[in-house]
Structure 1
Amino acid sequence: MNNTQHHKNNWVLGLTGGIGCGKTAVSNMLAELGITIVDADIIARQVVEPGTEGLNAIVKHFGTDILNEHGALNRSELRARIFSNAEQKAWLNALLHPLIRTKLITDLTNAQSDYVVLVAPLLFENELDGYCHRTLLIDVPKEVQIARTTQRDNISIEQAEQIIDAQMSREQKQHKADDILNNNRNLNDVKQDLLELHKYYLQQAKSTI
């Protein structure tokens, strides 16, 4: 990757894919192989936990009714506030993106495994691939994404299509990714291919650093 911003000596693999493509299943397989997983979605939740700078700033901006009865962020209320308000959405992104990046970099730097995986659905959209030495796209056809997402999240086909259409297109992701793993087949075949990629990444990590 060009402009790779290395952190310490850790070799970073960026793992991405659209909704319903099976990123979690693949990252779980890598975790079982002893690889540290840094998940951008989990970090996005951590930076707004009670007591954090992120949540304090949100409460100051939106008021205490943005919290639920337990004093944690009411996500559906926040989504409703920013959904059709570009200005509020921009304010929230300006607050959260730096906090998320700082924690991402810290976690990537502190990882002790042979290489570290950065999982992010918006890896390319948010230019997080700049932190990666190599990128892996978990790929399935759009109709598979829709079927899996409607089943898993109990949402309509229209809602699933809206989410998919809001993300970078499958073709663009395929063009940007260094490696592509077809996840629309028997899980054992996926595992076999992932093991081969894992061996390759171990070699790369050893030779690059």
Structure 2
Amino acid sequence: MFLVGLSGGIASGKSTVVAVLRELGCAVIDADVIAREVVQPHLKAYQQIVRHFGTDILLESGEINREALGSIIFSQPEKRQLLNAITHPEIQKEMLKQVLKYFVLGYRYVILDIPLLFETNRLTKFMKHTVLVYCDPQTQLSRLMKRNGLCQAEAEARIASQLPLDEKRKLASHVIDNSGDRESTRRQVLRLHARLEDSLDFLWARLALGAAVAGLGGLLYLLLQHFIS
């Protein structure tokens, strides 16, 4: 088994790419979904967030108001770092469980959908491939303003909280340009899928499975540290 890291930027259209990959039968682990799950009431991360950010970020139901929390962390970098320090270990634990599940099920590669893959830079060394979903800056800004109902200043602040897509582009081994229409993006995803399948054939033909498993083992070791820390 080998790992593929998939990332993008806010409003770059990563969900569109993930949808196509799932249609193709790929195993995709979504860090955003896991991030929402680990902050449910009464869980460890939830309790720490409430302790540090206060009850003003809670909805009447007791769940975390993601918009209220987002407005804090996007304007205060130190608060964003604190939130990441609370949630990332819990997210990585759940990612580990899901990677192991797909390994047992016999999948030969797993795609890890991690929005901050290039910002944190801790997991990229365990990926055989890294994929960036890119769009040009003006398109990104326009999409974010429309999607979230933000003014330009608010949208720019959220984009500025992440590493610029042009910088991420230099770090990725594959780039899917989502600046155009859905059909153009879909064709690029199909080409990526073909490359991943070809990579599998090459791995088996060259008996390089051991190296791929070693990369997976390194990731598992890193994540397992959270269980015993």
TM-score (norm 2): 0.76
Whether the 8 Å contact between 1:12 and 1:108 is mirrored in structure 2 is: no
Whether the 8 Å contact between 1:150 and 1:157 is mirrored in structure 2 is: yes
Mapped to 2, the partners of 1:166 and 1:84 lie a distance apart of: 9
Whether the 8 Å contact between 1:115 and 1:202 is mirrored in structure 2 is: no
In structure 2, what is the equivalent of residue 133 of structure 1?
A: 128
TM-score (norm 1): 0.83
Mapped to 1, the partners of 2:53 and 2:181 lie a distance apart of: 47
C-alpha spacing 1:153/1:74, structure 2 compared with 1 (3 Å) = closer
1:29 aligns with 2:20: yes
In structure 2, what is the equivalent of residue 145 of structure 1?
A: 140
SS at match of 1:155: coil
Structure 1, residues 111-168: CA drift from partner, whole Å, max 9, x if none?
A: 2444211112211001232332111111111001011111111111222222222211
Higher helix content, 1 or 2:
2
- Unaligned stretches of 5+ residues in structure 1: 1-9
Whether the 8 Å contact between 1:12 and 1:133 is mirrored in structure 2 is: yes
Mapped to 2, the partners of 1:38 and 1:81 lie a distance apart of: 27
1:104 aligns with 2:95: yes
Greater mean deviation of Cα atoms: 20-29 or 101-110: 101-110
Mapped to 2, the partners of 1:43 and 1:159 lie a distance apart of: 26
Structure 1, residues 11-45: CA drift from partner, whole Å, max 9, x if none?
A: 21111111121100001000011112111111111
Whether the 8 Å contact between 1:114 and 1:202 is mirrored in structure 2 is: no
Q: What amino acid sits opposite 1:117 in the alignment?
A: I
Identical positions, percent: 33
1:170 aligns with 2:161: no
Mapped to 2, the partners of 1:73 and 1:176 lie a distance apart of: 33
Whether the 8 Å contact between 1:14 and 1:135 is mirrored in structure 2 is: yes
1:70 aligns with 2:61: yes
C-alpha spacing 1:136/1:53, structure 2 compared with 1 (3 Å) = same
In structure 1, what is the equivalent of residue 8 of structure 2?
A: 17
1:74 Cα deviation after fit: 3.2
Mapped to 1, the partners of 2:72 and 2:177 lie a distance apart of: 37
1:189 aligns with 2:180: no
Mapped to 2, the partners of 1:51 and 1:105 lie a distance apart of: 22
In structure 1, what is the equivalent of residue 212 of structure 2?
A: none
In structure 2, what is the equivalent of residue 198 of structure 1?
A: 193
Question: RMSD of the alignment, in Å?
Answer: 2.4
Structure 1, residues 168-208: CA drift from partner, whole Å, max 9, x if none?
A: 12222111000111112232232222112101112323515
C-alpha spacing 1:43/1:200, structure 2 compared with 1 (3 Å) = same
Q: What amino acid sits opposite 2:34 in the alignment?
A: I
Structure 1, residues 82-115: CA drift from partner, whole Å, max 9, x if none?
A: 65483x5544332222111221222223224442
Whether the 8 Å contact between 1:18 and 1:121 is mirrored in structure 2 is: yes
1:56 Cα deviation after fit: 2.9
